[in-house]
């Protein structure tokens, strides 16, 4: 077995969509977003054959020969430099022998890149935690990241069935918005969304996501993103960026202004309907809080999303592998930040 560089998008997509069609941050497109923000990335696979043989085989053989893939991003931050494998690595089977080959490679890379730790967050269930602990990983000190707990609606149901399973209040607010004349339209005006998003972040005091412009540019170019706005007459009340990957529609970013008009509810309903028209199987509302604590920063957002029904999916918490002593300073900083922000 060998670690191989993967430079063909076709090979990457075929493996990923076969083994983990829900892992947004391991998608080829997300790697391009990272590149646009001048981050250094690596796309590698664990192959049954040597690197030289892998390079000359055809696409189907290459995919069949792969045991796992990982898109690795080098993050240089004030709290320290680390290698980040968001939603990965992705393995056909989590096997100690196969995983150790990858682990030896990334540990060597971390030392070369002067990274103090490696952070991974594969979207697999929590029963895998002992597997990673046995290899030297520890739970990351940060709050839940990369949508570890999400709410997913099955779109194979009819619209009537989806509506019926919603909270009664949510269903009524959607109908009220329709009666009041709220409209939902598709747009390409990312600057308008960013302005609304900044207002929302300022009002709620949350840390803004970076590279939203780059994200929308990359995914919309491939037909994998929609930007929707909801208006009441001429007033813009809410907006959202929705990504499509594999068989999933993902509500990735939202923004709104305070209003008694339930425009945000109709926005979500129209996004669900748009995903169904695309033939998408699942609608992922993205991250929610794993608590009933009303002072949690995500409590209001979680209540809003939960009103649309769906099932919770809980993935393993992010794991860290310390490489150098500076990691423990990162632990202290992130632990304090988590406490201050109330997570």
Task: Express each pLDDT in 208-231 by its tens digit.
Answer: 788 999 999 999 999 999 999 999
Q: State pLDDT tens for residues 297-337.
A: 778 889 999 999 999 999 999 999 999 999 999 999 989 98
Q: What pLDDT is recorded for position 61?
A: 75
Q: How many CA atoms within 13 Å lie on the side-chain side of 102?
A: 30
One domain, residues 23 and 128: yes
Evaluate if residue 271 carries a pLDDT over 80: yes
As a whole number, mean pLDDT of residues 55-80 equals 87
Same domain, 194 and 220: yes
DSSP alpha helix (H) spans, 37-166: 51-56, 59-65, 96-112, 129-133, 159-164
Distance CA 44, CA 56 (A): 16
* Cα Rg of the chain (Å, integer): 21
Same domain, yes or no: 80 and 165:
no
Check whether residue 309 and residue 160 sit in a common domain: yes
How many structural domains compose the chain?
Answer: 2
Does the structure show a pLDDT above 90 at 103? yes
- The answer on pLDDT for 204 being more than 80 is no
Are residues 330 and 217 both part of a single domain? no
Q: How confident is the model at residue 129 (pLDDT cuts 50, 70, 90)?
A: very high
CATH number for 224: 3.40.630.30
Has residue 53 got a pLDDT over 80?
Answer: no
Residue 237 has pLDDT above 80, yes or no: yes
Mean pLDDT value of segment 137-160: 92
Residue 141 and residue 157 in one domain: no
Judge if 158 and 181 occupy the same domain.
Answer: yes
At 64, the pLDDT band (50, 70, 90 cuts) reads: confident
Average pLDDT over residues 271-298: 89
Q: Above 80 in pLDDT, residue 58?
A: no
CA 128: distance to chain centroid?
20
**Local confidence band at 1 (pLDDT 50, 70, 90 cut-offs):** confident
Q: Tell me: do 117 and 194 sit in the same domain.
A: no
Residues 276 and 218 placed together within one structural domain of the fold:
yes
Alpha carbon separation from 70 to 6, 28, 123 (Å, rounded):
10, 10, 13
Question: Does one domain contain both 177 and 325?
Answer: no
**What integer is the mean pLDDT of 175-200?**
96
Work out the average pLDDT over 149-168: 97
Output the pLDDT for position 341.
78
Same domain, 166 and 102: no
- Say which residues have a Cβ less than 8 Å from residue 308's Cβ, sequence separation at least 6: 151, 153, 166, 167, 170, 268, 272, 285
Report pTM: 0.92
Whether residue 31 is preceded by a cis peptide bond, meaning omega within 30 degrees of 0, is: no
Task: Give the domain range for residue 209.
Answer: 149-314
Mean pLDDT of the chain: 93
Confidence of residue 146 (pLDDT cuts 50, 70, 90): confident
Half-sphere exposure of 247 (CA within 13 A, CB side): 12
pLDDT at position 50 over 80: no
Compute the average pLDDT of residues 101-109: 97
Query: Do 231 and 93 fall within a single domain?
Result: no
């Amino acid at each position: 077995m060998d670690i191989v560089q993967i430079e063909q998008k076709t090979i990457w997509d075929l493996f990923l969509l076969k083994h983990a069609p829900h892992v947004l941050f391991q998608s080829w497109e997300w790697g391009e977003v990272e590149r646009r923000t001048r981050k250094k990335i690596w796309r590698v696979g664990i192959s049954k054959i040597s690197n030289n043989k892998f390079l000359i085989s055809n696409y189907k053989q290459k995919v069949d020969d792969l045991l796992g893939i990982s898109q690795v991003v080098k993050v240089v931050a004030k709290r320290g430099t680390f290698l980040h494998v968001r939603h990965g690595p992705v393995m056909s089977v989590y096997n100690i022998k196969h995983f150790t080959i990858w682990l030896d490679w990334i540990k060597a890379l971390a030392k070369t890149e002067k990274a103090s730790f490696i952070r991974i967050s594969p979207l697999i269930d929590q029963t895998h935690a002992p597997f990673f602990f046995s290899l030297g990983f520890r739970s990351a000190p940060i709050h839940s990241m990369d949508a570890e707990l999400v709410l997913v609606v099955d779109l194979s149901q009819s619209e009537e069935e989806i509506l019926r399973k919603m909270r009664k209040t949510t269903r009524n607010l959607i109908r009220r918005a329709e009666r009041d004349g709220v409209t939902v339209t598709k747009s390409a005006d990312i600057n308008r969304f960013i302005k609304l998003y900044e207002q929302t972040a300022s009002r709620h005091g949350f840390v803004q996501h970076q590279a939203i412009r780059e994200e929308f540019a990359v995914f919309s170019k491939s037909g994998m993103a929609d930007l929707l706005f909801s208006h009441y007459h001429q007033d813009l009340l809410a907006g959202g960026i929705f990504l499509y990957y594999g068989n999933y529609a993902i509500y990735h970013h939202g923004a709104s202004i305070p209003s008694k008009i339930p425009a945000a509810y109709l926005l979500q309903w129209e996004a669900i309907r748009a995903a169904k028209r695309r033939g998408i199987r699942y609608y992922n509302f993205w991250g929610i809080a794993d608590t009933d604590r009303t002072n949690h920063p995500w409590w209001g957002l979680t209540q809003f999303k939960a009103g649309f029904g769906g099932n919770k999916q809980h993935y393993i918490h992010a794991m860290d592998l310390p490489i150098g002593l500076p990691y423990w300073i990162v632990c202290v900083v992130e632990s304090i930040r988590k406490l201050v922000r109330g997570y």
